[in-house]
Structure 1
Amino acid sequence: MSVTVSIKVRKELVELADKMVRYGIARSRSHAFNIMIERGLHEVVGEVEFWENIFRKVEELEKQGYTLKHGGLSKILEEDRG
C-alpha cells in the first residue's frame, strides 16, 4: 500500500531524481525517491553517473558521424537494466 507524504528535499536530490527518470532508472520522481531510500543515495549516484557517461559517449560518437541503428541504444540499455 502506498501513502502520499510531502517532504522538502535539497535541490540536488530533485535534480538526481529527474536524471534517474531521464535515463530510465526510474519511472517517475516518486519512483526515483523510493529507489534512493531503498538502495541508498551513494549507490544511486554511482548508477546515474554511469548512465550519464554512456549518454555523453553516445553524443560524442554521433558528433563524429557515427549513427546508431534505430532503437539500438535503447535495447542495450534495457538489457543492462534487466
Structure 2
Amino acid sequence: MIPRPDLTKYQYQHDYFIKKTRELHEFGVKKVIWIFTENIPVIWESESADTIVIRDGWNHDVTITDGMVFNLATLYAEAQP
C-alpha cells in the first residue's frame, strides 16, 4: 500500500502536488497526471517541471502517450447502465 502524504505540512494542499510533480519530472518521469475528485473535478497534466495544465472538469481528452488517449467523462458515461 502506498503511504498517504502528510498534507498538514503544507499551507495549501495543491502545494504538495506541485512539489511532487516537479520531483517526479526531475527523477525522469515524462508525464504526470493528477485526477482530483474531492471538491471540483479537475485534471492536472504536466510534461515538464515548469508547466502544469489545469483542466476544469473531466470532459477533456488526456493523452497518456502517442496513440493512447482517455476522457473520464466519456468513460464514465459508457460505464453507466
TM tier relative to shorter chain: under 0.3
Please identify which structure carries the higher helix content. Answer: 1
Please identify which structure carries the higher strand content. Answer: 2
TM-score (norm 1): 0.27
Of structures 1 and 2, the one scoring higher in RCO (CA 8 A, sep 6+) is 1
TM-score (norm 2): 0.27
